[in-house]
Amino acid sequence: MIMGKQKEEQTGSGLHNAMAAGSFVKGNITSESDFRLDGRVEGDITCSGKIVVGQKGSITGNIRCQNAEIHGEIMGTIQTDNHLTLKATARITGDIRTQTLEVEAGAQFDGNCRMREEGI
């Protein structure tokens, strides 16, 4: 069930999907382009590009993507192939698997982190 606004936008780097604040999705999401979430998702998100979770964004479920930038709240596993950035307002409850991790002062993380070399 999708409630609220969902749109596809053209950016300098190509298309990306965006889900606005106030939107709610219960179910899994798959995107072949970058994805910005300012709403709430209960389900897993798989993205072939970058996921940005805004300050008002929240996910109860797992994330699988190339790169991620988290400003909001995640309750679940985050797995990125390349880079994960936890901004100062990020609140993560769950495990992280990534190649590189950047954490700003103030970010909250409760879980395990496994970093690996490329190709492993």
**Per-residue pLDDT reduced to its tens digit, 21-61:** 999 999 999 999 999 999 999 999 999 999 999 999 999 99
| Whole-number average pLDDT of the chain | 88
Q: Encoding tokens for residue 26?
A: 């219960």
Q: Taking residues 98-116, what's their average pLDDT?
A: 95
**Per-residue pLDDT reduced to its tens digit, 59-105:** 999 999 999 999 999 999 999 999 999 999 999 999 999 999 999 99
Instruction: Provide the pLDDT for residue 37.
Output: 96
CB 31 within 8 A of CB 8: no
- Give 15's pLDDT tier (boundaries 50, 70, 90): low
How many C-beta atoms surround the C-beta of residue 87 within 10 A?
Answer: 18
| pLDDT higher than threshold 50 for residue 12 | no
